[in-house]
């Protein structure tokens, strides 16, 4: 198990972005929240390399980049009850009905994730895919470890939440983003 305090050189709260892509979102979050340490996790080399370049260019010292699969990384490298936040933006929606079982965010994953979150930790999810947004919003209402922070199950705008390159692209195409924000209870 990595010693994240030693890796970051401090004991600030630890947040995880799963699927950090090119790193634009995590870089914005790191600037907005210098009081947190961020792990930018992605499965693809290209995104990880671009994220590294972005955080180096911006001089951010509160972001570390990891190339790995989310569940196995968490089991090996994240202590139970240690995350103050987990963020998942625009994951693969697996739009075909026969592939939907491959979607990352489902009731089993949320049960798994809850063990890694501290009390009052935030879970943010955003997608441009209507069906995925509605599925997660509906499913989260039935997960007893979490309570909704928003006045509705989802919102199409969320003040203070940075927009990634992909969110901006989807919005320019006229798509709505589904923002979902829950907190572990």
As annotated, the active-site residues are 92
Structure-token pair, residue 80 = 């139970």
Other C-beta atoms closer than 10 Å to the C-beta of 97 total 8
Calpha distance 185→166 (Å, rounded)? 31
Calpha distance 94→98 (Å, rounded)? 9
C-alpha angle 107-113-114 in degrees, rounded to nearest 5:
90
Cα–Cα distances (Å) from 91 to 2, 80, 132, 156, in that order, read 26, 24, 9, 17
Structure-token pair, residue 171 = 């919005």
Which of 49, 89, 88 is closest to 67 using CA atoms?
49
Calpha distance 140→159 (Å, rounded)? 21
């Amino acid at each position: 198990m990595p010693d994240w305090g030693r890796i970051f050189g401090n004991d600030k709260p630890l947040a995880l972005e799963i699927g950090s892509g090119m790193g634009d979102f995590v870089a914005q979050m790191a600037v907005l929240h210098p009081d947190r340490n961020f792990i930018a996790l992605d499965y693809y080399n290209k995104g990880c390399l671009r994220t590294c370049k972005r955080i180096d260019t911006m001089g951010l010292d509160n972001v570390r980049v990891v190339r790995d699969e989310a569940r196995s990384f968490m089991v090996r490298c994240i202590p139970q009850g240690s995350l103050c936040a987990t963020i998942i933006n625009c994951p693969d929606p697996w739009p075909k009905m026969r592939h939907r079982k491959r979607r990352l965010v489902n009731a089993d994953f949320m049960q798994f994730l809850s063990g890694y979150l501290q009390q009052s930790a935030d879970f943010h999810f955003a997608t441009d895919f209507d069906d995925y947004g509605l599925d997660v919003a509906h499913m989260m209402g039935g997960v007893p470890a979490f309570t909704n922070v928003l006045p509705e199950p989802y919102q199409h705008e969320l003040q203070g939440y940075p927009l990634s390159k992909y969110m901006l692209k989807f919005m320019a195409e006229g798509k709505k983003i589904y923002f979902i924000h829950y907190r572990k209870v």
